[in-house]
Amino acid sequence: MTAPGATPDIRGITESLGYVFKDQGLLEEAITHKSYYHENRETAHSNNERLEFLGDAVLGLFVVEYLFLQEKQYPESVLAKVKSYLVSETVLADIAASLCLGKYLLLGKGEETTGGRDKKSILADALESVIGALYLDAGYENTKSILLNFFKEKIDSAIQSGEFFDYKTELQEKTQLLYGTLPEYKVIRQQGEEHKRIFTVAVYLNGEKLGTASGRRKKEAETLAAKKALEEIS
Question: For the chain, what is the radius of gyration of the CA atoms?
Answer: 21
- Note whether 232 and 210 are within 8 A (CB): yes
Which one, of 49, 216, 61, 52, lies nearest residue 147 by Cα? 61
Residues in Cβ contact with 112 at an 8 Å cutoff, skipping those fewer than 6 apart: 1
- Note whether 23 and 130 are within 8 A (CB): no
- Note whether 41 and 47 are within 8 A (CB): no
CB atoms within 10 A of CB 78: 16
The order of strands in the sheet holding 198-205 is: 184-191, 198-205, 208-215
Which residues have a catalytic role annotated? 56, 128
